[in-house]
Structure 1
Amino acid sequence: MKVLAMAVVALALSGTAARAADPRYPDWPCTQAKVPEISLAAVWAGPALDDVQNKWKDDAKVSALVAKLSARKTPLDEAEKSVKEFLAASATDKTAKAKLLFAGLFDTLNAQRSQVMAGLERVSRKQRESADKIREETIALHELQGATPRDEAKVEALGNELIWKTRIFEDRHKVVRFVCEVPTTIDQRLFALGRVIQQEME
């Protein structure tokens, strides 16, 4: 790879790593706006949950179902079916069970979402550090190539290292773009399951 091309790549990578959509969250790497927590009002229009907060953990059946429904490997249609079956079997105390179930889902999915977002910001900081190193090494390579006499072994070694680091950076960037969709997917899952729970309570 030519020095000029590498320099352009390094500068482009540096800009990509440093750019933040919202100055309040300088490490947030996604084009989607960062919403730190899901608002309860945005996903739940049912009865107040004040009287069931944390109590869902004390109900073994609810806890087990929350774990299953919260897992992204569980297809949404299967999760919705499980909600309906659970609440149909809870006819005598359906409202109480429904509230416990949604409280558990809200807590669990919000926690999942926070973990994903914290991971994205950690990777973003690493990307910024990587971009700085790539830029510095590109300048160093340029100096080596212009030196007299020119040390071909050092030029080749640093050039190969830069190509390798650039590939790692680009691969990580692709993963970040994919993971940026996860918080939105969690939002949608919680909203969909909340809607089914509310419909089954009516």
Structure 2
Amino acid sequence: MRKYLYAPFLILTSVFLAANSSHFAEAATFDDPTWPCQQRKVEKLSLALMWPIPLPDNADSGNQAELPPDAQELAGKLELRRVSLEDADKLVAAFVKDHPDVTADLMGKIFADVFDRLGKTRHKIITGIGRYSEKQIVLSEKIDATRSKMDALMAASEPDFDKVDKLEEELDWDQRVYEDRSRSLTYVCETPVLIEKRLYALAQILMKHAPE
């Protein structure tokens, strides 16, 4: 075990996690009007903050061809979010047992590969959230416009109640759609954070089993 690196790494990363998982990122922002989540928008994560042991310059390129087939298979399993962290730990332990010649560099490359895989998934989710939010903004503007039309009709000396009723039905439908989407966003917004936390945990697992 890398006891001389692993213990301080745990202390350091636990502080980061307690503060906010977005500290694992290279940039975070609150000023994006299309970002609807309570969590800060973090465009890109930092491999170096999760894996402080120096890696080859191209280790974060996601080049799976550099990994032996068994290592690629392990990275693919660790990527799967349905694989619990407990099972991930067992998979890594079994890999090290079956490969007594495993090196710390190889473990780092495995993590870099998982980092690249989940990073791409996370980026797609963040992009999707942005598109989803833009639709919500458009729908919100439509709802406001419908309300204004209803107010104008009702302010007339002889209101057209048929038009008011039609607009009211349209308003009810749009509001229902808007609220349903908002509830869905609550879950979707958690997904990038969950991916960050999983990467953090996988880094610990791989480092724990890395040889000195």
- The TM-score, its normalising length taken from structure 1, stands at 0.80
Report how far residue 165 of structure 1 moved.
Answer: 0.5
Within 2, Cα distance between the matches of 1:44 and 1:65?
18
Could you list the per-position Cα deviations for residues 33-80 of structure 1 after superposition, in whole angstroms to 9, with x for gaps in the alignment? 122111112211224142544443453333333232212222222222
Matching residue within 45, 48, 51 for 2:52: 45
Letter aligned with residue 86 of structure 2: D
Within 1, Cα distance between the matches of 2:199 and 2:131?
25
SS in structure 1 of the partner of residue 204 of structure 2: helix
Letter aligned with residue 172 of structure 1: R
Within 2, Cα distance between the matches of 1:62 and 1:158?
60
Report how far residue 94 of structure 1 moved.
Answer: 3.5
Cα contact 1:66–1:101 (8 A) shared by 2: yes
What's the C-alpha RMSD, in Å, of the aligned pairs?
2.0
Once superposed, which parts of structure 1, at least 4 consecutive aligned residues long, lie more than 4 Å away?
A: none
Within 1, Cα distance between the matches of 2:58 and 2:132?
38
Within 1, Cα distance between the matches of 2:35 and 2:71?
34
2:45 is aligned with 1:32? no
Between 1:100-109 and 1:70-79, the stretch displaced more is 70-79
Given the superposition, is the C-alpha separation of residues 49 and 105 from structure 1 closer, same or farther in structure 2, using an over 3 Å criterion?
A: farther
Could you list the per-position Cα deviations for residues 106-144 of structure 1 after superposition, in whole angstroms to 9, with x for gaps in the alignment? 111111111111111111111111110000011112222
Q: Which residue of 2 aligns with 1:22?
A: 30
In the alignment of these two chains, the number of paired residues is: 181
- The TM-score, its normalising length taken from structure 2, stands at 0.77
Given the superposition, is the C-alpha separation of residues 170 and 186 from structure 1 closer, same or farther in structure 2, using an over 3 Å criterion?
A: same
Cα contact 2:34–2:133 (8 A) shared by 1: yes
Letter aligned with residue 61 of structure 1: D
Within 1, Cα distance between the matches of 2:87 and 2:65?
22
Between 1:94-103 and 1:188-197, the stretch displaced more is 94-103
Given the superposition, is the C-alpha separation of residues 57 and 186 from structure 1 closer, same or farther in structure 2, using an over 3 Å criterion?
A: farther
Gaps of 5+ in 1: 1-20
Within 2, Cα distance between the matches of 1:41 and 1:97?
16
Within 1, Cα distance between the matches of 2:157 and 2:58?
78
Within 2, Cα distance between the matches of 1:158 and 1:61?
62
Q: Which residue of 2 aligns with 1:195?
A: 204
Within 2, Cα distance between the matches of 1:97 and 1:88?
14
Given the superposition, is the C-alpha separation of residues 28 and 47 from structure 1 closer, same or farther in structure 2, using an over 3 Å criterion?
A: same
Gaps of 5+ in 2: 1-28
Letter aligned with residue 84 of structure 2: P
Letter aligned with residue 140 of structure 1: K
Cα contact 2:55–2:105 (8 A) shared by 1: no
Cα contact 2:55–2:109 (8 A) shared by 1: no
